[in-house]
């Protein structure tokens, strides 16, 4: 870790890894974030089998971006009860509908489509007000206003069940990534090239800003340094998604990704030859925004780790570096393939809007997957997340609870198969 002033986590208990120094990172992806709820369900089942039915979260630090920030908020308000937190989050994703996230009525979608068309075709003539986004996500703000209480995050921090909660968004005004964070102990803000962190009470507006997918949902104004800036989805150009958790004091990170390990193979099955539709291009563009940052950051950490292994004198505490263990869980099946099976469940008005763009074709499934807030799709992703967590149950039990299969709870780090990374945020 770099020479920044960072909080020293409490000593780990003998029964296993220290939750106060363990972080959960979740990145976004619109409706794809239902997968994260499934993985968390799976982790909660592991905790229950270990007798931790009423235990707090196994990660005291939560860093979320985009829809991952919303999932993180759901955990933060229930930090003292992991089972209740995952049940609440799972129930939300299990029954969610598109009209609870963005307006799907004929009038609103029709007006939005017409405004975009007229702006692109005749905007230079009419000089009319340019549309701000393809969809109006006012319903999401209303739903979050009912479910998310900022005071409960502070209560979790005050109780010590939560050490820190962070949400990252991109400022359209300056091009900087800004991490807004709340913490149990005082943590000094940090500044890096094009990314800064500021302490703040996280509100619904922060969650909306972090999850405002470019072009699809409107930007949000947030106060920063005494003035307002316009913010959008925090995954845009986010090259160091692991950094906030490390700055907040994590020595272990569980990262739940949204990029399928089989994604490229699925695209190989698509018929070629024709010119790509706008939805196909848009899907690839969104994939580059949402799905590639975490993998690139992990690869960078692996290179740093190999370098430090050859230079042990640099990796000592006196040099300001410390090891951080990282474990990832990612979809084992292409989410695009699942989305292709459920595209017809998009609201009729949305299908009508996306059809001219190719968004209702199989090749447009990647683009449609970000908007598929419908139960059949989200339930399929929850089930996939649960299966993937079950397939890595031994690794998760060792990483989060220090339990090696067939043994009693072990000391911190025992049985970990996650790669140890030496990192600098």
Which residues have CB under 8 Å from 43's CB, separation 6+? 58, 86, 389, 396, 400
Of 66, 171, 210, 277, the catalytic one is 66
- Considering the candidates 112, 156, 211, 233, report the single residue annotated as catalytic: 233
What single-letter DSSP state applies at residue 315?
A: T
Strand stretches in 206-280, DSSP E:
220-224, 227-233, 252-256
DSSP letter string over 189-220? --EETTEEEEE----HHHHHHHT--TTTS--E
Three-class secondary structure of residue 18 per DSSP: coil
Contact 171, 209 (CB under 8 A): no
Is-catalytic flag, 233?
A: yes
Residue 128: HSE in the Cβ half-sphere, 13 Å Cα cutoff: 13
297 annotated active-site: no
Query: What are the distances in angstroms from CA 386 to CA 38, 90, 139, 312, 391?
Result: 5, 11, 28, 39, 9
Specify the 3-state DSSP secondary structure of 40: helix
Bridge partners, 171 (sequence order): 231
The DSSP secondary-structure symbol of 249 reads T
Q: How far apart are CA 350 and CA 352, in angstroms?
A: 5
The residues carrying an active-site annotation are 66, 233
């Amino acid at each position: 870790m770099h020479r920044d002033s960072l909080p020293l986590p409490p000593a780990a208990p003998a029964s296993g890894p220290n939750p106060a120094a363990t972080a959960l990172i979740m990145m976004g992806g619109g409706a794809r974030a239902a997968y994260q709820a499934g993985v968390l369900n799976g982790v909660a089942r592991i905790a229950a089998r270990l007798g931790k039915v009423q235990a707090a979260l196994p990660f005291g630090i939560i860093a979320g971006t985009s829809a991952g920030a919303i999932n993180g908020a759901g955990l933060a308000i229930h930090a003292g009860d992991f089972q209740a937190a995952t049940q609440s989050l799972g129930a939300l994703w299990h029954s969610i509908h598109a009209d609870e996230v963005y307006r799907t009525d004929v009038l609103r979608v029709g007006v939005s489509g017409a405004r975009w068309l007229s702006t692109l075709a005749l905007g230079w003539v009419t000089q009319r007000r340019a549309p701000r986004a393809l969809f109006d996500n006012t319903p999401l703000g209303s739903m979050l206003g009912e479910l998310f209480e900022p005071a409960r995050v502070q209560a979790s921090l005050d109780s010590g069940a939560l050490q820190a909660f962070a949400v990252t968004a991109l400022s359209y005004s300056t091009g900087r990534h800004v991490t807004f964070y709340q913490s149990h102990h005082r943590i000094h803000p940090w500044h890096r090239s094009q990314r800064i962190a500021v302490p703040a009470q996280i509100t619904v507006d922060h969650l909306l800003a972090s999850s405002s997918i470019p072009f699809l949902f409107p930007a949000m104004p947030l106060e920063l340094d005494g003035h307002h800036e316009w913010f959008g989805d925090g995954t845009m150009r986010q090259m160091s998604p692991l950094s906030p958790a490390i700055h907040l004091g994590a020595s272990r990170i569980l990262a739940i990704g949204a990029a399928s390990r089989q994604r490229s193979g699925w695209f190989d099955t698509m018929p070629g030859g024709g010119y790509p539709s706008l939805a196909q291009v848009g899907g690839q563009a969104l994939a580059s925004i949402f799905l590639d940052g975490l993998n690139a950051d992990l690869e960078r950490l692996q290179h740093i780790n190999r370098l430090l292994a050859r230079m042990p004198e640099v990796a000592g505490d006196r040099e300001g570096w410390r090891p951080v263990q990282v474990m990832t869980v990612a979809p084992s099946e292409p989410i695009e393939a699942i989305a292709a099976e459920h595209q017809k469940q998009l609201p009729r008005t949305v299908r009508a809007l996306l059809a001219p763009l190719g968004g209702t074709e199989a090749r447009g499934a990647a683009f449609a997957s970000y908007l598929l807030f419908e139960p059949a799709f989200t339930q399929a992703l929850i089930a996939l997340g649960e299966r993937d967590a079950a397939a890595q149950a031994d690794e998760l039990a060792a990483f989060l609870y220090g339990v090696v299969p067939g043994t009693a709870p072990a000391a911190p780090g025992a049985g970990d198969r996650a790669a140890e990374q030496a990192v600098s945020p």
